[in-house]
Amino acid sequence: MTNFRMSIDGKPTDGSDQFDVINPASEAVFDRAPQCSHEQLDAAMNAAQRAFGGWHRDETKRRQAIVKGAEILAAHGEQLARTLTQEQGKPLVQAQREISLASFRLKDIAERPLPHEVALDEPANRIDICYRPYGVVAGITPWNFPLQIAISKLAPALLAGNTMVLKPSPYTPLSTLLLGELLNRALPPGVLNVVSGGDSIGEQVTTHPLVRMISFTGSVATGKLIARAAASDLKRINLELGGNDPAIVLDDVDPVETGTKLFWAAFANCGQVCLAVKRVYVPEALFEPLVATVARLANAARVGDGMDPETQIGPLNNAMQLEKVTAMVQEARDQGAIIRTGGERLKRKGYFFAPTVLTEVDDKMTIVAEEQFGPALPILPYRDSDDVITRANATPYGLGASVWSSNMERAREMADQIEAGTVWINQHMVLTPHAPFSGAKWSGIGESMGRWGIEAFLQKRVINMMLG
């Protein structure tokens, strides 16, 4: 076993206790993580508060430290990737990609400008808009992309001059603990603290009096709890929550080509992606060939241990998620859905669920109305394009959506009517620094990515000067 430790005030720190981390491909204990005590959390918060004074004053030093951190990460890519695969389940090659992307994002952010605006520049009156960091930011992450999401918070937060206390999911704490140890070789003590523990540590983090802003990625249910907890102290919140992304296929596409693209947009990372395609609407004329394509790919996908180089789709990350997906598929089957392929847990150790395609489903079934967050895709026929927009929008979620068509004008017209933070055309799940990523409705508050992602960690201070 490796001794995974928290990072508090720049020091690798053992917990007051330890908890097991399960390898989802074997259901065996992969390793143990430190349990953060109340006193240790206080120490992490105090360290972050102390470090803030020096950190936010020296922008050049911040940029240099972030670049150095990126280089250290890249040099330890293999160790991080193997840890990530064994606690999360994803294929090793995808874990490697997550780490190289993390290192790239750190380097990239270190070169991005910080905002400053002159709102008015007249002989008698000049107004400067300065952007100031908040102070101590709490980062709380889920288990599907532990490193990518940790970096998407800490890179802009630290560049902006904040310090951070980061808490990963108890299902996947190890790669983030390692990330913390590695980045602390480049950062001044206390700038980045990483603590681990169960949900109650998350609650203590979000209610801690020294925290001025909370950046959270996870479920809608927890997002609401955090918003409520933050309200008593009016802490700022940035919430990236769940989604139930519809893909709407128009009648002018090749169903095999589109079905092939939709397959990976729905089943990547075993369906455990906030902005994966979660339901597909297809015109009646294209329905059968498109369903047949997705089902063929689902049936052929190699499901297995992420450490096996042949594996394309790993297990679900944890027993609770496996139970949730199993129950949704079973409920749909009981209510008349047809399972075109898959439909059950694989008969072997590990949280494996066969990639599943369902038809004869309706919008009220849980598998369509809720976020399944797993490898089970409902495909629904439609006749009328106004009706399909109403059905796509009939959800409290609004993260992403996509429209598939060979006619950009038609696709664009439809995209304009969809209630979501991002509507893709002829693609899905593509994030870019050129655009803000945010959720409409229950899918989130605030933005990430690009300059918007940096501004999310800054507050405005107006300096209004009467000259002469």
Q: Mind telling me the catalytic residues?
A: 240, 274
- Smallest distance from ligand NAD to CB 145, Å: 6
Provide the 3-class DSSP secondary structure of residue 5.
coil
Angle (nearest 5°) at CA 210 between 209 and 213: 95
Of 212-220, 258-266, 283-291, 330-338, the window that binds ligand NAD (rule: CB under 6 A) is: 212-220
Rounded Cα gap, residues 90 and 352, in angstroms: 12
User: Cβ closer to ligand NAD: 134 or 373?
Assistant: 373
The residue within the footprint of ligand NAD, chosen from 218, 315, 350, 375 (CB under 6 A), is 218
- x/- letters, 145..164, toward ligand NAD (CB under 6 A): ----x---------------
- Smallest distance from ligand NAD to CB 429, Å: 11
Question: Quick check: 170 binds ligand NAD (CB under 6 A)?
Answer: yes
Q: Which residues pair with 281 in a beta bridge?
A: 248, 380
Of 110-118, 239-247, 296-304, 333-341, the window that binds ligand NAD (rule: CB under 6 A) is: 239-247
Q: Concatenated DSSP letters for 393-408?
A: H-SS--SEEEEE-S-H
Residue where the block lists tokens 């076993």: 1
Rounded Cα gap, residues 16 and 35, in angstroms: 6
Question: Quick check: 143 binds ligand NAD (CB under 6 A)?
Answer: yes
Q: What residues between 389 and 408 interact with ligand NAD by CB under 6 A? A: 399
Of 135-143, 331-339, 342-350, 459-467, the window that binds ligand NAD (rule: CB under 6 A) is: 135-143
Cβ atoms within 10 Å, residue 362: 15
Sequence letter at residue 263: F
Question: Quick check: 326 binds ligand NAD (CB under 6 A)?
Answer: no
Rounded Cα gap, residues 284 and 345, in angstroms: 30
User: Cβ closer to ligand NAD: 215 or 258?
Assistant: 215
Question: Quick check: 169 binds ligand NAD (CB under 6 A)?
Answer: yes
Q: Concatenated DSSP letters for 200-237?
A: HHHHHHHH-TTEEEEEEES-HHHHHHHHHHHHTTT-EE
Of 90-98, 217-225, 287-295, 425-433, the window that binds ligand NAD (rule: CB under 6 A) is: 217-225
- How many residues interact with ligand NAD (rule CB under 6 A)? 29
Question: Quick check: 419 binds ligand NAD (CB under 6 A)?
Answer: no
User: Cβ closer to ligand NAD: 363 or 370?
Assistant: 370
User: Cβ closer to ligand NAD: 35 or 206?
Assistant: 206
What b/e sequence results for 98-112 when a residue is b if at least 16 CB atoms lie within 10 Å of its CB, and e otherwise?
bbebbbebbbebbeb
Cα-Cα-Cα-Cα torsion 37, 43, 45, 49, nearest 10 degrees, comes to: 180
Sequence letter at residue 219: S
Q: Is the distance from CB of 432 to CB of 423 less than 8 angstroms?
A: no
Residues that bind ligand NAD in the complex, under the rule CB under 6 A: 140-144, 149, 167, 169-170, 199, 202-203, 206, 217-219, 222, 225-226, 240-243, 274, 371, 373, 399, 439, 444
